[in-house]
Structure 1
Amino acid sequence: MTAMRLIYASAIDLRTDEAYYWTWSKEGVLSFLDHPPVIAWFIRFGTAVFGDTNLGVRFAGIVAMLVTQLLLADIVRRVTHDVRAVALAVLMPEAALYYGLLMAKVSPDVALIPFAVAMIWALVRLTESNDARWWLAAGVFAGLALSSKFTAVMLLPAVAAFMLVPKWRSRWLTSPYPWLAALIAVVVFLPVLIWNYQHDWASFRFQLVRATAIHALSLRTVGDYIGLQFGLVGFILLPVVLSGVALTAWRGYRRGDAVAILLSTAVIVPFGYFFWKSLSLRVGDTWPMFMWPAGFAAAAVNIAMLPRNGFPAWMIQSTIAWAKVAIISGIVFVVAVFLYYVVAPWNLIGRADPIGGEAGYEQVVERAQAQLQKTGATWIATTDYRTYAMLRWFFKDRVPVIQINERGRFEGFRDPGMNAIRGHAGLYVGREPDNTSPVWRSTTAIREPLERVERSWRGVVMDTYALEKLTGWTPELSPPKDSPLYRPRTLAGEFGTMGNDRGFVIAASVR
């Protein structure tokens, strides 16, 4: 399965958000508007080994999957001492589409997942050894998890319940170790805090819009959320995991079992929060993915604990049988999806295909290169971060590429090459209808239409792009914060999902 993920990572075109994070890896800033910086560090590690290639960008995701599996195996081994339960914990992620295949696609969630699991692992080691120093390791991993993605904060209730619900609560309330762990987490998270302090807390305000946005009740977004969980975790595996989490929570809170409380609460709280948000907002496809590894561990532990807790034989046999069916059918499904994208020549989903929907940019790049040579333009302008990222990925900074609006995204980025821009003609490349954006009214640019380019995948047109020659204007890299060229869309009140705005193939098919 790891070899399959390596092939997938090498063969499939980069998606726009992956290219966007790759641009971050080329910058030397402490943090970024959209997310904390660890994903940029991951990509920098991979490209240092394999260069600026698809595999280089994605390699850290392959490693993250393996690390996550090893940690899950050790968690279950220490709790159950049952090799069959350990095997289940290792195989469950392989049977889930997101982990078995799509962790090869880098995102902040890919960085968050191994650190979140490592924090849980450190607390399991604490329970097993009764050595309070494991709190300190948990603090390091918690800080790295927060430095990967802010949603790591949703694990805090699980840690609090782990600390306060069992009978050992008085020991930890008076011990310095949990508080030192919290301090360590803050220190590790300090680069993000420093960057935000320097930039008017931009990341926190940006993400707060999502967390506090109020929209009308929508059953469709609820269906999207539930459908995505079935698609990305597994149509059979998801019920197996949820039932295991429920029984683990029942055992943990009833008996004061610290590990059971930790594992189950690490799933229940985020799952409930995202369900609540889905009542009025489309939950991104990757947002909940950090919680399911704890669910896999809980389900594997639960299967080992059922006979020890005196459950009837029929229930034990049924649970084991469903787990086996979930793993076998899930792995078959993951392999089938892999073959569809890597081997098959068809497009069965049309424009809704999440991989094909972001493929084919080389067609746009080819025409852009031709127009650069024909018009004498020396730089490229865009008006959306996806096009910016893909153009920068393909041109590899041989030509300066600038997103002229939403400049708040690029705080602290290096000079893209203003000497090649100032006083020279530019080439605008924009997805229709982005080329009619009102931001152009804030500029003095003279726009000359050149041509329209279709981007297609397996015979289906995914998008159309307008190419225009720009003269009479030099873009401003650092416009005033009240300028329409500065504000990111979410901060400007246009609430949207960043990066993962297309449902995955299974959820799209269900819809």
Structure 2
Amino acid sequence: MDDAQVEDFGDTRVSLRSIAIVLGIYLVLAAVLPAADDEVYYWTWSKELQWSYYDHPPMTAVLIYLSTAVFGDSVFGFRVPACVASAVVVYVIGRLTRCRLLMLGVLFSPLFTIGAVMMTPDSPLIMFWALYLLWLVELQQRLAPEAGAEGSGPKPVKITWGWWTLGGIILGCGVLSKYTMGLIVPATFVSLLLSRRRLTDWISGYVYHGIVSAVVASPILIYNIQQGFEPLLFQWKHAAQTTPNALRSMVEFIGVQILLFGTLPFYLFPWVIKRFLSLCQNPRLRACSCLYALPLAFFVYKSTQTRLEGNWALVCFISFWPLAAVWYDSVRASKFWHWSTASAFLPPAIAVVVIFIHLVSPLSIVPVKLDRIHRQFAVDDATAEVARIIQERGEKIPVFADSYQMTSWLRFHGLPAQQVDGATRPSHFTRPPRRLTNVDRAYVVTNLPLSPILTEGFGLPEVVASVPMQIRGVTEGTLNIRLYQKPNRNPVGQPEVP
């Protein structure tokens, strides 16, 4: 398991040159791929910077704010940080893995093609997780026992406070990106326990770097104190939801991960567990083993308790590829294992190819109702038209939507839209609550009329305009602009019959 036995990925200069090419490709993709609903939602956060947000910590908003200040308020403008973050992660994986076959598989996975340009909290999360992994590998190497003078035993190693501070800053920035970063704390502790160093050699630095990270991530605490800890409780309840079918939930979770990364991460999981202690004898592989196996074991267990979203376990796989390189090095002489390893990447590679073909020339086998890619184009066009109609009417009255997604798109197209509290799940827009009943007249953009409970005190609404959502030439839903007004106002036009 010596590092020298692992295929060299190339020197630093070659790696940086390759990463520059990868970054250039990401920037092109960022300009042509349609924006996702949640990306636009996070863009709206950047227009209202605050300590944290109802759904996630504030790092995504800060990065978008900085990026759009330079590149403008466009889809490309708010995606630049995602492109940079993905390029950084690819660099870290390449530096630690040093295996061309595995790196090609990683590069052609959905996460590092289409997903690489999507600006969500996962973008800074995986970047800071990767940087922390690199930091931990260096820490483990500094802690590794060194041969002293003939028989003198291991030399004492002292880690500088500056190095612990750097780790704390990276950890804190990761927590500011997404709460999932917290899983790295116990995994790091286990890796340090396995370093064969005395506890006194590292425990004070470990605690100190935790304090530094807590200070860096303190905006989250400030925000939750202001909100009565409602945001954290919301996330806790969301993560603690139970599933009635544990087996189905676990199979779905593993299936999604295979589509994202191929079969190797799960095929080799028993191999890593069986050889865990022997892998941990190597400082570099010790860090990778703990940051892969422990979080993944947690997520596999968690998938039997609740239905996990496909992106929750992304961080586990950053640390996997250096371990896979060790396994591959032991079987690479066999043509069977060479081609088997290559074929392990077929599921994600096929998925990427199909998505790109469908993007350029829609595939008829994909039902229009399930076409999420072209739906985003349709939502963009429809909400732009809704915004144009309302702006041309020239009435300075509030505009409401029934979901955070629709509210986000309307804001992206220049309308100061608000989300009706209680119509769908709460969001950043419902903190504080935006109740329709607090105003006398308002436009409401929805597909169907709102519940009478939410429109108490209003008369029957007037449909001002209807904008169809055209997906591949087929109308899939209609955005109706309704004018709600209270009876003491003079009605305009004919009321809508429910």
TM range, smaller chain? 0.7 to 0.9
| From 361, 366, 377, the counterpart of 1:349 | 366
* Counterpart contact for 2:258–2:348, Cα < 8 Å: no
What amino acid does structure 2 have at the position aligned with 1:167?
R
What amino acid does structure 2 have at the position aligned with 1:168?
R
* Counterpart contact for 2:443–2:481, Cα < 8 Å: yes
Structure 1 residue 359 and structure 2 residue 373: aligned?
Answer: no
Measure, in 2, the Cα distance between the counterparts of 1:190 and 1:284. Answer: 27
What amino acid does structure 2 have at the position aligned with 1:140?
I
Paired position in structure 1 for 2:239: 211
SS at match of 1:147: helix
Single out whichever of 370-379 and 135-144 deviates more from structure 2: 370-379
Does the C-alpha gap of structure 1 residues 57 and 96 become closer, same or farther in structure 2, counting only changes over 3 Å?
Answer: same
Does the C-alpha gap of structure 1 residues 368 and 123 become closer, same or farther in structure 2, counting only changes over 3 Å?
Answer: closer
SS at match of 2:313: helix
| From 175, 178, 182, the counterpart of 1:146 | 175
Paired position in structure 2 for 1:486: none
| From 388, 391, 412, the counterpart of 2:410 | 391
Give 1:334 deviation, angstroms. 2.8
Measure, in 1, the Cα distance between the counterparts of 2:73 and 2:183. Answer: 34
* Counterpart contact for 1:251–1:260, Cα < 8 Å: no
Identity %: 24
| From 306, 321, 341, the counterpart of 1:296 | 321
Does the C-alpha gap of structure 1 residues 375 and 427 become closer, same or farther in structure 2, counting only changes over 3 Å?
Answer: farther
- Per-residue CA deviations over 1:210-267 (Å, capped at 9, x if unaligned) read 222223125443343222112222xxxx322334454344334246424434323323
Structure 1 residue 27 and structure 2 residue 48: aligned?
Answer: yes
* Counterpart contact for 2:461–2:485, Cα < 8 Å: yes
SS at match of 2:470: strand
Paired position in structure 2 for 1:401: 417
Structure 1 residue 273 and structure 2 residue 298: aligned?
Answer: yes
Unmatched 5+ residue regions in structure 2? Answer: 1-21, 144-157, 488-498
Does the C-alpha gap of structure 1 residues 408 and 228 become closer, same or farther in structure 2, counting only changes over 3 Å?
Answer: closer
* Counterpart contact for 1:89–1:300, Cα < 8 Å: yes
Measure, in 2, the Cα distance between the counterparts of 1:438 and 1:424. Answer: 16
Paired position in structure 1 for 2:265: 241
Measure, in 1, the Cα distance between the counterparts of 2:475 and 2:304. Answer: 33
Q: How many residues align?
A: 443
* Counterpart contact for 2:398–2:443, Cα < 8 Å: yes
* Counterpart contact for 1:71–1:118, Cα < 8 Å: yes
Measure, in 2, the Cα distance between the counterparts of 1:459 and 1:17. Answer: 24
Q: How does 1:76-155 map to 2 (within 5 A)?
A: 76=97, 85-88=98-101, 90-130=103-143, 132-133=159-160, 134-155=163-184
* Counterpart contact for 1:245–1:264, Cα < 8 Å: no
Measure, in 2, the Cα distance between the counterparts of 1:7 and 1:59. Answer: 10
Does the C-alpha gap of structure 1 residues 340 and 94 become closer, same or farther in structure 2, counting only changes over 3 Å?
Answer: same
Measure, in 1, the Cα distance between the counterparts of 2:457 and 2:300. Answer: 43
* Counterpart contact for 2:42–2:61, Cα < 8 Å: yes
Paired position in structure 1 for 2:275: 251
Measure, in 1, the Cα distance between the counterparts of 2:235 and 2:142. Answer: 38
Structure 1 residue 72 and structure 2 residue 97: aligned?
Answer: no
Paired position in structure 2 for 1:457: 471
Measure, in 1, the Cα distance between the counterparts of 2:182 and 2:81. Answer: 23
What amino acid does structure 2 have at the position aligned with 1:196?
N
Higher Rg of the two aligned structures: 2
- Per-residue CA deviations over 1:434-459 (Å, capped at 9, x if unaligned) read x3335514565763233443312212
Paired position in structure 1 for 2:83: 62
SS at match of 2:308: coil
Does the C-alpha gap of structure 1 residues 318 and 123 become closer, same or farther in structure 2, counting only changes over 3 Å?
Answer: farther
Measure, in 1, the Cα distance between the counterparts of 2:452 and 2:177. Answer: 34
Measure, in 1, the Cα distance between the counterparts of 2:225 and 2:256. Answer: 36
Does the C-alpha gap of structure 1 residues 117 and 344 become closer, same or farther in structure 2, counting only changes over 3 Å?
Answer: same
Does the C-alpha gap of structure 1 residues 96 and 31 become closer, same or farther in structure 2, counting only changes over 3 Å?
Answer: same
Measure, in 1, the Cα distance between the counterparts of 2:285 and 2:303. Answer: 27
Paired position in structure 1 for 2:444: 428
Measure, in 2, the Cα distance between the counterparts of 1:86 and 1:313. Answer: 14
| From 323, 330, 341, the counterpart of 2:341 | 323
Does the C-alpha gap of structure 1 residues 11 and 19 become closer, same or farther in structure 2, counting only changes over 3 Å?
Answer: same
Measure, in 1, the Cα distance between the counterparts of 2:40 and 2:353. Answer: 25
Measure, in 2, the Cα distance between the counterparts of 1:275 and 1:461. Answer: 40
Measure, in 2, the Cα distance between the counterparts of 1:32 and 1:332. Answer: 37
| From 179, 188, 191, the counterpart of 2:219 | 191
SS at match of 2:319: helix
Give 1:103 deviation, angstroms. 1.7
SS at match of 2:361: coil
* Counterpart contact for 1:357–1:457, Cα < 8 Å: yes
* Counterpart contact for 1:372–1:378, Cα < 8 Å: no
What amino acid does structure 1 have at the position aligned with 2:238?
R
What amino acid does structure 1 have at the position aligned with 2:179?
F
Paired position in structure 2 for 1:165: 194
Give 1:405 deviation, angstroms. 1.0
Measure, in 2, the Cα distance between the counterparts of 1:358 and 1:199. Answer: 33
Give 1:86 deviation, angstroms. 4.4
Measure, in 2, the Cα distance between the counterparts of 1:29 and 1:445. Answer: 37
Paired position in structure 1 for 2:148: none
Q: How does 1:10-25 map to 2 (within 5 A)?
A: 10-25=31-46
Single out whichever of 214-223 and 193-202 deviates more from structure 2: 214-223
Measure, in 2, the Cα distance between the counterparts of 1:143 and 1:347. Answer: 46
- Per-residue CA deviations over 1:399-432 (Å, capped at 9, x if unaligned) read 321113167624778x9xxxxx997742110134
Give 1:8 deviation, angstroms. 2.5
Higher RCO, Cα 8 Å, sep 6+ = 1
Measure, in 1, the Cα distance between the counterparts of 2:332 and 2:350. Answer: 31
- Per-residue CA deviations over 1:457-480 (Å, capped at 9, x if unaligned) read 21244433332102239xxxxxxx
SS at match of 1:29: coil
* Counterpart contact for 1:25–1:40, Cα < 8 Å: yes
Give 1:61 deviation, angstroms. 0.9
Give 1:184 deviation, angstroms. 0.9
Does the C-alpha gap of structure 1 residues 243 and 135 become closer, same or farther in structure 2, counting only changes over 3 Å?
Answer: farther
Paired position in structure 1 for 2:312: 287
Q: How does 1:478-497 map to 2 (within 5 A)?
A: none
Measure, in 2, the Cα distance between the counterparts of 1:121 and 1:436. Answer: 51
Q: How does 1:220-239 map to 2 (within 5 A)?
A: 220-233=248-261, 238-239=262-263
* Counterpart contact for 1:377–1:425, Cα < 8 Å: no
